[in-house]
Structure 1
Amino acid sequence: MNRLALGMALAALALVAGCSGTSSTAAAGEPAAGKPVPVVATTPQVADFVRNIGGGDVEVTQIIKPGVDPHDYEPTPADMRAIASARLVVENGVGLEKWLDGTIAAAGYSGPVVDASRGVTLRVEGGEPDPHIWHNPLNVKIMAAGIERGLAAADPSRAPAFARNLAAYDTALDRLDAENVAAYRTIPPARRKLVTNHDAFGYYVDRYRLEFVGSVIPSMDTSAELSARQLTDLVGTIRATGVRAIFTESSLPPKTAEAIAARAGVEVVASLYGDSLGPAGSPGATYLGAEEHNTRTIVSALAG
C-alpha cells in the first residue's frame, strides 16, 4: 500500500470514530443559522477566490499551503477530516488535484464539488490540457463566477452578498488585466521573451503576447527533468534568441535554473509566483498581489 492509500485508510477509520455523532441537520448539509459556510478549497489561489467572494459568510479551509508544489501534494488525515465536515469543496480542476477524488471518497463526503475550471477555454500543450488557468485574470472571472454560484447554492440566504462580492472582485480583476496590458506596451515585442522554471505561464504568455522560449523543467508538471541534450539545447536557444533572464518560481528550487543561466550568460530573476501564492505578509499573499508582483518583476527584467 502506498503512502497516499495508507493515509486515506487511516483517515477513514478516524472519521468513522470521530464523526459518528454528527447531527442529522449537518449531515444533510443544511445551513447552520448565523454560522459561516464551511468550505474546503484545494489550492492557495482557489482559497483566495473563495475568501473574496464569500467574505465573512464563509469559513475556508485551504488544503495546500503557500509555497507547496500542488503537482506532488499528498493529502493528510486532517485534509480528509476538513472535507468530511465541509458544505462545499472547491477545486481548480484540469487535473491539477489528481489526489482529490480519492480523498473525497475516503472522507465519505457526498456534497457538492465546484470545479472552478468549468467554462474556461483550455490551452493544450503536448496533448495535455494546461491546468494553470489562473494566470489569465479573464479566466479568473469565469472561475469566480462558478464559485459564486456554488456558494449561493450552498446557502441561498446569503446569495445577494455573494453576488455583491463577485461584482467587486470582477472590477479588481479587470483593473489587474488592464494594468498588465499597459505594462507590456512599454516593452518592445522583440524583447518579450520568457524562460521559467517550468511551463506554468502559458495562459499569461498568450494573454499578454509574450514569447515563451523554454523552461528548465520541460513540462507543465514539475516531476520531469531536462536531459543533457535538452539542457544544452535550452542554453543554445537562450543565447540565440537574446533572452535576458531566467525567471525562477517561489515553489521550486532554483539550482538548475542558476546553472543554466551561468552557462547561457544571463541573470536569474527570483522569484515568480507560479504554482502557488506566497505566505502572509509577502507580495504574493493574495492572487491579485501575486500577479501584480509577477508583472512588475518580468517587465523590470525585460526592460533591462
Structure 2
Amino acid sequence: MKALGILAVSAVLISLAGCGSDDGAAAAPDSAALSVVATTPEVADFVRNIGGDDVTVTQIIKPNVDPHEYEPTPADIKAIGEAKVVVKNGVGLESWLDQTIASAGFKGTVVDSSQGVTLREGGHEEEGEEHAEGEEHAEGEEHDPHIWHDPRNAKIMVTNIEKALAAADPEDADAYATNLTSYSAKLDKLDADNEAAFAKLPAADRKLVTNHDAFGYYVARYKLEFVGSVIPSLDTSAELSAQQLTDLVAKIKATGTKAIFTESSLPPKSAEAIAKQAGVQVIGGEDALYGDSLGEQGTPTGTYLGAEEHNTKVIVDALAG
C-alpha cells in the first residue's frame, strides 16, 4: 500500500515545481550551503549539530509523528530530488525511503547512519551482530531500529554523518570534524549522566513498561529490566491480544513494577487502561517518553540530548517514587 501511495504522490510532483516547503522544517535557502534531507527528527538533529551553518537541513518526519507508519508526501519527494545528501536512520525504519528516492530521481549520496552499530535482534533476549559497512540484512531478519537510545550508538551515527558531509563538501571538512569532536563530548556526558542517575536507583526498582518496544538499547545500556510493552512489537502496528493483556497485567503485579510510561508519538489510552487494571501509575502528558520522536524544535526536548535527558529524569523519578 505504501508503494502505491508513493507512486501516486510522485505523479503530482510537476504541480510543485517552483514551490517551497511550507512546513518550516527546512532552513532558509543558502546557495553556498550543502543541501541535506534527513528522515527522522533524531537524524536531522545530528546533521544540524555536525553540519552547523554549512548545511541546510530538510527534516522529513516531523516531531511526535510515528515513523513506523509514515507515508511520504509530494513535498518530501521534491525535497529529496533537490538534495545533495540524504541521511537515514537505517535498520529498516524508513521502509518507504527507497521507492521515494527512486520516484524523486535522486542521484546524490544516501547515508545509512546505522553502519557499524551492533544491532539487537527483534526482542530483548538476544543481542544482534554488527551491521558492517554495506551489509544487507537477511530476508525476514528483523533488528531493532531504535539504535539512538544508546548514546554510544549515537556517536557512531554522527561519525558516519560527519564522514559523508566531508566527502560531499570537502571545503568545509575541517568544520565538520570540529563539530563532531564537540558533539561527541556531549554524547559522552549524556551517557555518563544517565549511568550516574540509574546508579542511585536500586536494581530491584529498574523495571520498565512502555507503549511499544522502543527502548531495547536503552534497557541494555543502563541495566534495566524490560517487563513488557502495551504494543508487543518493535513497530506500532501490533495489538495486545486479550491473553497478552492479562499476562502483562499479571507480570506488572508480580514484578512490583511501579509505572507504565506512555510515549509522545502514541495515544495513551491503552497504557492508561492497563495501568488501571494493574494498579500502577501511568506516566504521560508532558512526562511522556520520547521513544520514536523528539519534541518540537525550539523546546528543551526538541533536540536529541534534551529528549534523552528528559527520558532518564522521568524514568528515574517515577521508579524512585
TM-score in same-fold range (> 0.5): yes
Counterpart pick for 2:197 among 166, 183, 188: 183
3-state DSSP of counterpart to 2:71: coil
Q: 1:263 to 1:79 in 2, by over 3 A?
A: same
Matched with 2:282 is 268
> Aligned partners of 1:15 and 1:156: how far apart in 2?
33
1:147 and 2:161 aligned: yes
Q: Is the 8 A contact 1:15 1:107 kept in 2?
A: no
Equivalent residue, structure 1, for 2:7: 8
What's the CA shift for 1:35?
1.1
- The residue that corresponds to 2:118 in the other structure is 121
Asked whether 1:204 is paired with 2:204, we answer no
Question: Which residue identity lines up with residue 81 of structure 2 in the other structure?
Answer: A
Structure 1 residue 283, shift from structure 2 partner: 3.0
Q: What is the letter of the counterpart of residue 45 of structure 1? A: E
* Preserved CA contact (<8 Å) 2:30 2:56: no
For 1:154 and 1:79, the matched residues in 2 are separated by: 21
Counterpart contact for 1:81–1:107, Cα < 8 Å: yes
1:78 corresponds to which residue? 75
Provide Cα deviations, 1:202-233, integer angstroms capped at 9, x if missing partner: 00000000000000000001010000000000
After TM superposition, list the pairs within 5 Å mapping 1:128-143 onto structure 2. 128-143=142-157
Task: Tell me which amino acid in the other structure corresponds to 2:293.
Answer: S
Equivalence for 1:53: 50
Shift of 1:13: 5.3
Q: Deviations over 1:123-170 (max 9, x none)?
A: 102562000000000000000000000000110000000000000000
Cα distance change on mapping 1:227 and 1:166 into 2, 3 Å = same
Contact preservation (8 Å) 2:5, 2:71: no
Partner amino acid, structure 1, of 2:17 = G
The CA deviation string for residues 46-92 of structure 1, in whole angstroms up to 9 with x for no partner, is 00000000000000000000000000000000000000000000000
Contact 2:6 2:99 in 1 (8 A): no
2:38 aligns to what? 41
Q: Given that residues 4 and 75 in structure 1 are in contact (C-alpha distance below 8 angstroms), is that contact kept between their aligned partners in structure 2?
A: no
Q: Answer whether contact 2:150 2:217 (CA < 8 A) is retained.
A: yes
> Which of 204, 208, 227 matches 1:194?
208
Greater than 6 Å deviation, 4+ residue runs: none
Secondary structure of the corresponding residue to residue 197 of structure 1: strand
One-letter identity of the residue aligned with 1:99? W
**What residue in structure 1 maps to residue 227 of structure 2?**
213
Gaps in structure 1 of 5+ consecutive residues? 20-31
Structure 2 Cα separation of the partners of residues 152 and 122 of structure 1: 26
Q: Percent of aligned positions with the same letter in both sequences?
A: 66
Q: Which amino acid aligns with 2:13?
A: A
Cα distance between partner residues in 2 of 1:210 and 1:302:
11
Query: Is the CA contact 1:197–1:252 (under 8 Å) kept in the aligned structure 2?
Result: yes
Q: Secondary structure at the match of 2:238?
A: coil
* Aligned ranges 1:106-117 → 2 under 5 Å: 106-117=103-114
- Return 5+ residue gaps in structure 2 as ranges: 19-28, 124-140
Structure 2 CA distance for aligned equivalents of residues 33 and 193 of structure 1: 48
TM-score, structure 2 length as denominator? 0.87
Answer whether contact 2:85 2:108 (CA < 8 A) is retained. yes
* 1:33 shift after superposition: 9.6
Partners of 2:36 and 2:212 in 1: CA distance = 30
Change (3 A) 1:191 1:100: same
Aligned partner of 1:103 in structure 2 is: 100
Q: CA contact under 8 A between 1:44 and 1:65: conserved in structure 2? A: yes
Instruction: State whether residues 84 and 109 of structure 1, in contact with CA within 8 Å, keep that contact through their aligned partners in structure 2.
Output: yes
Query: Structure 1 residues 113 and 16, CA, compared in 2 at 3 Å: closer, same or farther?
Result: farther
- Other-structure match for 1:68: 65
Residue 129 of structure 2 is matched in structure 1 by none
Check conservation: 1:152, 1:159, Cα contact below 8 A: yes
- Given that 1:12 and 1:107 are in contact with CA atoms closer than 8 Å, whether structure 2 keeps it comes out as no
**Aligned-partner SS, 2:118:** coil
Structure-2 separation of matches of 1:37 and 1:281: 22
- Shift in alpha-carbon separation, 1:10–1:139, aligned structure 2, 3 A: closer
SS at match of 1:249: coil
